[in-house]
């Protein structure tokens, strides 16, 4: 009787472990489909022999030779099931795309967005108007430089009125209140990627991108006249500038890095401190404006260091010159949703330029996707693609149609 009770207890333990294995197996298959989405979007084959060997190598930690051998067979079987699952999933996705292409063939002219007023053909050239533009920081900042180059290309007389604000959100509040006609904000850097706060502000305020300026950013180490490199104890700048100059800064590990809201703000702070042990990372124009010496020129990691600035406005401006569109979309949290959304670009012959994801507030592990692609809202194939993406999205926001500067 004791043996039977002991056997039952052991079987109960096996049942508990089997239940855990089933739950883990189910979670693994769900992750397998997420990997399949990535492979499909990036044209990566299902079989990855290097990855399989990496998985099998984990069994070497098992001391019992027999159990180790069976563990190899166990993992190999799971990976074979996973590959078959991905192959069947790919086939279903391909069938979906083919069916969608057949169903939509010749129907582009019948598909309209719910807000037809956005397809205005009015041509508005911002640079021909005297406007008030807000930027973050102080004079000498890269935002101000991008503003000047966008609204006064070629160095002609600068007639646009500009107002500076302490933060990115302050620029948006001023635009919302009507204090300025347009705002200019940095959106991404070629070395360090997107600026999360600006992405979030775009959707929060519902403004439109009406233009962009790609500015080559040249960082320099600035200090009071007569200061030497060996005198420096503190360096001030924006966190993005520290990242973009990390190689140079590694040579001086004893320097304390102090973050400022803007590179030009850091230059102004050093100038006003009258301290010979402080330096700033900022532009050459900031050095001129705040009477600082340049201790080291071009200290950014890459000489090809560009920041993309966007011009934002309260109204969507559509021109026949526009060739770039930005969207923000959230998708259903289910297998294939991202792939199906991206397929609309291929089906309509449109070139996607970029996709960036940001976490959705209060929704754990769900994301908002920011997408840039080539096109003009007046084109039927663009209207069709945008309409289909909007229908498939749980959240959709048209961020703008404007002229690319890249």
The CA–CA distances, whole Å, from 316 to 43, 131, 380 equal 35, 16, 18
- Burial pattern 88-112, b for ≥16 Cβ within 10 A else e, equals ebeeebeeeeeeeeeebeeebeebe
Question: What proportions of the chain, in percent to the nearest 5, are helix, strand and coil?
Answer: 45, 25, 30
d(CA 350, CA 392) in angstroms, rounded, equals 18
Residues in the chain: 406
Residue 198, both tokens: 């600006």
User: 3-state SS of 287-303?
Assistant: HHHCCCEEEECCCCCCC
d(CA 135, CA 151) in angstroms, rounded, equals 13
Contacts of 167 (CB under 8 A, 6+ apart): 136, 261
Residue 212: count other Cβ atoms within 10 Å of its Cβ. 22
**Hey, which residues are catalytic here?**
307, 309
d(CA 3, CA 47) in angstroms, rounded, equals 48
The backbone torsions φ and ψ at residue 329, rounded to the nearest 5 degrees and listed phi first, read: -140, 145
């Amino acid at each position: 009787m004791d043996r039977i009770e002991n056997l039952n207890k052991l079987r109960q333990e096996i049942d508990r472990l089997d239940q855990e294995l089933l739950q883990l197996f189910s979670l693994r298959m769900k992750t397998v489909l997420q990997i399949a989405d990535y492979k499909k979007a990036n044209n990566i084959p299902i079989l990855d022999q290097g990855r399989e060997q990496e998985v099998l190598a984990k069994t070497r930690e098992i001391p019992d030779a027999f159990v180790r051998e069976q563990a190899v067979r166990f993992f190999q079987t799971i990976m074979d099931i996973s590959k078959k699952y991905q192959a069947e999933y790919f086939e279903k996705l391909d069938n979906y795309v083919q069916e969608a292409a057949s169903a939509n063939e010749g129907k582009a002219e019948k598909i309209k967005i719910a807000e037809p007023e956005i397809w205005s053909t009015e041509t508005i050239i911002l640079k021909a108007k005297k406007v008030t533009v807000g930027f973050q920081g102080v004079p000498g900042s890269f935002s101000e430089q991008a503003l000047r180059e966008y609204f006064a290309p070629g160095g002609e007389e600068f007639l646009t009125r500009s107002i500076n604000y302490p933060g990115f959100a302050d620029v948006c509040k001023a635009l919302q209140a009507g204090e300025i006609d347009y705002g200019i904000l940095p959106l991404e850097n070629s070395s360090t990627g997107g600026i999360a706060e600006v992405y979030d502000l775009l959707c929060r305020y519902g403004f439109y991108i009406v233009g962009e300026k790609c500015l080559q950013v040249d960082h320099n180490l600035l200090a009071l006249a007569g200061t030497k490199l060996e005198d420096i104890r503190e360096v001030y700048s924006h966190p993005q500038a520290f990242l973009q100059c990390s190689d140079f800064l590694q040579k001086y590990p004893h320097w304390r890095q102090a973050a400022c809201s803007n590179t030009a703000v850091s230059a102004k702070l050093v100038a006003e401190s009258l301290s010979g042990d402080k330096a700033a990372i900022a532009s050459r124009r900031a050095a001129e404006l705040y009477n600082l010496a340049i201790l080291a020129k071009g200290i950014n990691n890459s000489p090809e260091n560009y920041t993309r600035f966007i011009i934002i406005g309260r109204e969507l401006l559509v021109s026949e010159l526009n060739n770039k569109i930005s969207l923000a979309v959230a998708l259903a949290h289910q297998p294939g949703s991202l792939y199906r959304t991206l397929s609309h670009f291929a089906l309509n012959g449109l070139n996607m330029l970029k996709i960036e994801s940001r976490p959705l507030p209060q929704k754990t592990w769900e994301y908002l996707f920011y997408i840039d692609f080539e096109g003009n809202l007046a084109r039927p194939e663009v209207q069709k693609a945008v309409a289909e993406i909007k229908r498939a999205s749980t959240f959709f926001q048209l961020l703008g149609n404007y002229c690319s500067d890249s």
